[in-house]
Amino acid sequence: MKTALFFLTILIAQVSFAQEDLLAELNKSSDTSNQLLPPKMLLTQRVLWGEKGLMRPIIQLNTANREKELKVRRTMLVAHQVLGFITLGGMAGQGITGSQLYKGNYRNYEIHENLATAVNISYGATALMSFFAPPPLINRDKKLSAIRLHKWLSVVHMAGMIATNALAENGPKSLHRAAAITTFASFGAAIISIKF
């Protein structure tokens, strides 16, 4: 337990220092009236944080509030990363107990089911942290980057997560297993892509 807390502390410290300083970019901006929001945002970000978003009656769009939003963004993305590691650990546990089920050892069926519930909750929370975070200050260029690869892999693991859950009860076991392996591999690759 102490080892896990130690590694979690190191992870949180690393993530905090690894983030770009978007506030510095905001301060460098000379024409803040046109550059407070990026031209492209996720639909969820536009609905909440856009110029006419649901948050705008509460939090007006100005430079001071955008600085606060970027701090909230950073916190949410750190939580996204930490929850991602927790989810990956749960997925690994599910893989171990799931492989025992395929071998006919049903002692761990309940553990596998409980891990499935925990993974679904942590996966959903991880996704929500990303989808509903305030938008960045600027859009990144269109070149291949770690962030772009991370986003592409998220499409794969989200589809895999849906398929794994859909096939868990009614689908062929071989397809359920293939979907679970694809989800785990793409989720792990998405985490690794950010770190390099």
**Tens digits of per-residue pLDDT, 60-99?**
999 999 999 999 999 999 999 999 999 999 999 999 999 9
- 88 and 127 share one domain: yes
Tell me which residue range forms the domain holding 162: 140-196
Q: What is the pLDDT of residue 1?
A: 45
Q: What is the pLDDT of residue 138?
A: 82
- 65 and 109 share one domain: yes
Q: What is the pLDDT of residues 109-122, one digit of tens each?
A: 999 999 999 999 99
- 126 and 171 share one domain: no
Q: What is the pLDDT of residue 141?
A: 66
Angle at 119 between CA 127 and CA 146, to 5 degrees: 45
Last residue of a domain, one of 133, 150, 176: 133
4 lies in some domain? no
Q: Cα–Cα distance between 49 and 47 in angstroms, integer? A: 6
Whether the pLDDT of residue 6 is over 50: the answer is: no
Q: Cα–Cα distance between 127 and 31 in angstroms, integer? A: 33
34 lies in some domain? no
2 lies in some domain? no
12 lies in some domain? no
Whether the pLDDT of residue 12 is over 50: the answer is: no
Query: Cβ(123)–Cβ(87) under 8 Å?
Result: yes
Q: Domains in the chain: how many in total?
A: 2
Last residue of a domain, one of 110, 133, 156: 133
Last residue of a domain, one of 111, 133, 155: 133
Q: Cα–Cα distance between 93 and 60 in angstroms, integer? A: 45
- 48 and 126 share one domain: yes
